[in-house]
């Protein structure tokens, strides 16, 4: 980190501040802003007095390029193969494969797929599925399995798979699942930091492990940028303590369904686009924009999948955001916001660390309690329209689309949070 001294005089700063205050007063906006959901307070003086010790941690490459993800849950190998080929033709360059089955016909699933040109992640949930994959595997390039400790309490089984498999591994740290339950940015980062630390301890300081952070992307543009920047510094701090190379992690920004609408689907692409922008500017390595209707009764269509992929392609190839690296570096406000989110998350992380085990019931109880408080605030603000979402609680669609949310799996015993499920008063 380096400190850059401001070249502006005190008089110039004072004059600028007075101008800003005049503009704020005309619009009846207070000098201090408090975000109740994020539990963050930002004032005008914060930006002016910030020392500008840059907290951003640049990504590994020379550009800001990212990979475009598409996920497929395999129920039938032949049908999934068609969908995988389709998303690759439509712009995806990274496949994420999930399944609840114990074995798959991998030849059928990956028929005509050229691994040289894409990245593939297979999420493994049990030893039988891994055994099935290893029988088929023959050193395909850019091919990885992902293992997640938070979704499986049998840590010994996962440690055993890590020790014995010949397939390259990414250890998944799933902040996205918590964010989709309603967690704010500090809670999500604290959970992620705690998971990372506990996994490192479980693996007895192995140095050759790689981590994959799945992070949810919320709707507050500046806060989300700051969150991704804070995450990088937080992760590198922990890795450094165990002499693990700082390049041993990557970030997947996931855009989910918290503020998406099945009744008024035309609003979704705008929300997905602004969320994608914040993730990209924040410096993600992969971007996964879930089709807005994936978790609906009808499921996603070819059209909604294509539109989700198009957002990433347009921002990359037409807006040239892949060439703009850490665009907000040096912004007093963003640097200060990054520090505030990082400090708040670190304080929560230290509370979680006091429980000393990855699946501690008391720790989970604390996490659930924190998230439930945030969900309560989100719900109250939505009901009284302090949060206004077009198509959801204001300007509702007079001819709503006939579709409903499915019953989704819980995470740490918590249900997913969807604004559209709230009955507005």
In this predicted structure, the answer to whether residue 326 has a pLDDT above a threshold of 90 is no
Q: How far apart are CA 397 and CA 264, in angstroms?
A: 6
DSSP tag of 31: S
Residue 425's pLDDT is 46
Residue 131 has pLDDT above 90, yes or no: yes
Using a 10 angstrom Cβ sphere, with 0-12 exposed, 13-18 middle and 19 or more buried, the burial of residue 313 is middle
- pLDDT category, 62, cuts 50, 70, 90? low
Q: Is a pLDDT exceeding 80 seen at residue 125? A: yes
Which pLDDT score is estimated for 4?
Answer: 39
Residue 48 confidence (pLDDT) above 90? no
Asked if residue 315 has pLDDT above 70, the reply is yes
Check residue 1 and give its pLDDT: 36
Tens-place pLDDT, residues 169-189? 999 999 999 999 999 999 999
Of residues 51 and 282, the one with the higher pLDDT is 282
Is CATH 3.40.50.300 correct for 67-323? no
- Which residues face 148 on adjacent strands? 172
CA distance 276 to 284: 10
Contact status, residue 418 vs residue 376, Cβ threshold 8 Å: no
- Better-scored residue on pLDDT, 304 or 26: 304
Alpha helices in 167-267 (DSSP H): 175-179, 185-202, 221-241
Residues 83, 340: contact at Cβ < 8 Å? no
Contacts of 252 by beta carbon, 8 Å cutoff, 6+ apart: 69, 176, 212, 213, 214, 215, 284, 285, 286, 287, 288
**Residues 115, 140 contacting (CB under 8 angstroms):** yes
Domain ranges of the chain: 67-323
Q: Provide the mean pLDDT of the chain.
A: 90
Whether residue 207 is predicted with pLDDT greater than 90 in this model: the reply is no
Q: Of the candidates 35, 400, 393, 420, which has an alpha carbon nearest to the alpha carbon of residue 257?
A: 420
- 119 touches 67 (CB < 8 A): yes
Give the CA angle between residues 46, 47, 48 to the nearest 5°.
95
DSSP string, 135-185: HH----TTEEEEEESTT-S-HHHHHHHHHH--S-EEEEEEHHHHHTTT--H
What is the pLDDT confidence band of residue 2, given thresholds at 50, 70 and 90? very low
Q: Which position has the higher pLDDT, 20 or 107?
A: 107
Cα distances (Å, whole numbers) of residue 395 to 84, 218, 392, 419? 37, 22, 8, 15
Q: What's the pLDDT score for residue 260?
A: 97
Alpha-carbon distance of 305 to 291, in angstroms, equals 5
3-state SS assignment for residue 289: strand
- Do residues 248 and 305 make contact, with C-beta atoms less than 8 angstroms apart? no
Residue with tokens 């005008």: 44
End-to-end CA distance of the chain: 50
Choose among 279, 215, 288, 223: nearest CA to 249.
Answer: 215
Please, which pLDDT band fits residue 3 given cuts at 50, 70 and 90? very low
Torsion angles phi and psi, residue 40, rounded to 5: -130, 135
pTM of full prediction above 0.85: yes
Mean pLDDT of 47-60: 53
């Amino acid at each position: 980190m380096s400190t850059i001294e401001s070249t502006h005089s005190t008089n110039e700063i004072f004059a600028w501040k007075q101008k800003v205050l005049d503009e704020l007063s005309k619009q009846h906006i207070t000098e201090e802003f408090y975000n109740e959901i994020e539990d963050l307070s930002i004032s005008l003086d914060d930006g002016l007095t910030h020392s500008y010790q840059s907290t951003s941690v640049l990504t590994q490459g020379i550009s800001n390029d990212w990979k475009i993800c598409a996920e497929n849950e395999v129920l039938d190998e032949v049908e999934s193969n068609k969908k995988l080929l389709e998303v690759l033709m439509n712009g995806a360059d990274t496949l994420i494969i999930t399944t609840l089955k114990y074995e798959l016909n991998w030849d059928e699933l990956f028929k005509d797929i050229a691994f040289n040109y894409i990245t593939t992640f297979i999420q493994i949930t049990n030893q039988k599925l891994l055994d099935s994959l290893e029988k088929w595997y023959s050193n395909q390039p850019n091919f990885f399995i992902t293992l997640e400790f938070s979704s499986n309490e049998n840590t010994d089984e996962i440690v055993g798979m890590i020790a014995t498999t010949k397939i390259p591994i990414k250890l998944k740290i799933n902040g996205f699942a918590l964010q989709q339950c309603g967690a704010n940015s500090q809670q999500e980062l604290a959970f992620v930091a705690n998971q990372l630390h506990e996994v490192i301890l479980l693996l007895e300081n192995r140095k050759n492990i790689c981590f994959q952070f799945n992070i949810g992307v919320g709707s507050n543009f500046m806060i989300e940028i700051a969150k991704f920047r804070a995450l990088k510094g937080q992760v590198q701090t922990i890795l450094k303590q165990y002499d693990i190379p700082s390049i041993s992690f990557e970030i997947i920004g996931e855009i989910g369904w918290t503020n998406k609408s099945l009744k008024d689907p035309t609003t979704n692409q705008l929300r997905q686009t602004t969320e994608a922008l914040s993730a990209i500017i924040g410096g993600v390595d992969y971007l996964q924009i879930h089709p807005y209707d994936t978790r609906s009764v009808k499921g996603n269509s070819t059209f909604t999948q294509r539109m989700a992929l198009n957002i990433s392609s347009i921002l990359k190839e037409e807006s040239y955001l892949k060439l703009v690296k850490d665009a907000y570096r040096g912004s007093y406000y963003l640097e200060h916001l990054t520090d505030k989110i990082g400090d708040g998350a670190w304080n929560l992380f230290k509370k979680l660390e006091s429980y000393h085990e990855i699946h501690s019931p008391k720790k989970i109880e604390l996490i659930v309690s924190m998230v439930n408080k945030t969900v309560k605030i989100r719900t109250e603000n939505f009901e009284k329209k302090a949060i206004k979402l077009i198509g959801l609680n204001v300007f509702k669609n007079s001819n709503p689309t006939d579709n409903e949310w499915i019953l989704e799996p819980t995470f740490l015993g918590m249900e997913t949070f969807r604004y559209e499920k709230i009955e507005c008063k």
